[in-house]
Amino acid sequence: MSKQSFRQAGPCHASKATIETFAADFARKVGYRAGGELEPVVGQLGGKIIYQTFADLSRSLDASIRIFGDRNFEIYLPDYTSAERDRFSIAHEIGHYILHYPLASEPMIARRFGSTRVEWEANWFAAGFLMPEAAFRKQFARHPGNIAGVARHFRVSTAAATARAKALGLL
Ligand SMILES: [Zn+2]
């Protein structure tokens, strides 16, 4: 087996608003609806999701992505985290594939090394993909004082919905 080298993902430097809008448009384009399954989206893009045990993840306890080429990538997830957290992680890793891979089109890897620009960008993508602004504002108004209800609608963690509400100035 030949040894392949992977470039570390670098940021695209688009603004938060641009990335969120782009992610919401992208979600529509791939037929994703609020609270829907993410595995078919990954499959549609040519990727695979691989759940790893604690032992497999010895180098990193977080989700990561390895991109071998066009329509050929693997998303690694720890198998002991909640479904809601996994969903945010999957959308985040899709963000790396959509935002960062096309810049270089070379084998690429993205792991979490603290709060870097490239990680923020993937988080903005995930927030815009899973909780598009207009839909989020509507659900927030429909669930007064009930962020858990908003979170359930989008099938994200309460922490993710709370962060989204704060970012939109709702909390
Ligand atoms: Zn990342």
Query: pLDDT tens digits, residue range 41-90?
Result: 999 999 999 998 877 755 556 789 999 999 999 999 988 889 999 999 99
Phi, psi (rounded to 5 degrees) for 137: -60, -40
Q: How far is the CA of 7 from the centre of ligand 1 (A)?
A: 14
| Domain extents in the chain | 7-130, 132-171
Q: What is the DSSP-derived secondary structure letter of residue 4?
A: P
Q: How confident is the model at residue 3 (pLDDT cuts 50, 70, 90)?
A: low
Whether the per-residue pLDDT at 1 is higher than 70: the answer is no
What CA–CA distance (Å, rounded) separates 135 from 138?
A: 5
CATH of 7-130 among 1.10.8, 3.10.50, 1.10.10, 1.10.287: 1.10.10
Ligand 1 centroid from CA 96, angstroms: 7
Task: Give the max Cα distance, the chain.
Answer: 57
Rounded average pLDDT over 23-27: 98
11 CA from centroid of ligand 1 (Å): 11
Q: Which two tokens stand for residue 80?
A: 């002991």
pLDDT tens-digit profile of 99-139? 999 998 999 999 876 679 999 999 999 999 999 999 999 99
